[in-house]
Structure 1
Amino acid sequence: MPSAIFVVRATLPDPARRDEFDRWYRDVHLPDAIRSFGVRKAWWVWSLADPAVHQAMYQFDAIDAMERAVGGDEMKRLIADFNRDWPDVTRTRESFVLADGFPVDS
């Protein structure tokens, strides 16, 4: 079964709070989401074109595992916690399936 990737795109209305957001994301939210989802890998990036745009990616071993995680009660709790701590940050969510990949030699 192919890997699935769940992507959350967030817009931070005040880019001056980016360091604060990064600390919270790294120390609080991401570890909680990793435990709750049981993902293989998770990471986040900031847009170079728009300093307010943050994108987090969660890699699951299979589509059904991702669907269970993002459709369950833990997801509702994670969303509520995020909204409590960062009520002014808007988010969109999208799911992807890994189509292919190529190994890269070092």
Structure 2
Amino acid sequence: MPSAIFVVRATVPDPVKRDAFDRWYRDVHLPDAIKSFGVRKAWRVWSLVDPAVHQAMYQFDDVAAMERAVGGDEMKRLIVDFNRDWPDVTRTRESFTLAQIVEE
């Protein structure tokens, strides 16, 4: 079965807060999400087009594992923690299934 990718896109509108958000995500939230989700791999990026945009991607073994993780109590807790620490940062979430990998 193909891998599934869960993507969280956050917009940090205040440039002064971006470094603190980056440290928090790196040191607190990403390790917590990795452990809570039980993911195979996670990575995150900042947009080069819009410096306010941050995306985190979590790779699951399959769609069923992703759906269990993002539909469970741990996800609810992660959302509460995020909202508590970053109330002015908006987010969207989207789920993908891997269609193709090309490597040379």
Answer whether TM exceeds 0.5 for this pair: yes
Partner of 1:7: 7
C-alpha displacement of 1:72: 0.4
Partner of 1:64: 64
Identical columns (%):
84
Q: Which amino acid aligns with 2:13?
A: P
Equivalent residue runs for 1:73-88 within 5 Å? 73-88=73-88
Partner of 2:48: 48
Partner of 2:31: 31
C-alpha displacement of 1:31: 0.3
So what's the TM-score if we normalise by structure 1? 0.95
Return 5+ residue gaps in structure 2 as ranges. Answer: none
C-alpha displacement of 1:15: 1.9
C-alpha displacement of 1:83: 0.3
Write out per-residue CA displacement over residues 18-39 of structure 1, whole angstroms, 9 at most, x where no aligned residue: 1111110011000000000000
Moved over 6 A (4+): none
Partner of 1:20: 20
C-alpha displacement of 1:17: 1.5
Superposed CA RMSD: 0.7
1:91 aligns with 2:68: no
Aligned to 1:13, the other structure's residue is in SS state: coil
Return 5+ residue gaps in structure 1 as ranges. Answer: none
Q: Which amino acid aligns with 1:36?
A: S
C-alpha displacement of 1:103: 2.4
CA distance in 1, matches of 2:38, 2:80: 19
C-alpha displacement of 1:13: 1.4
Aligned residues: 104
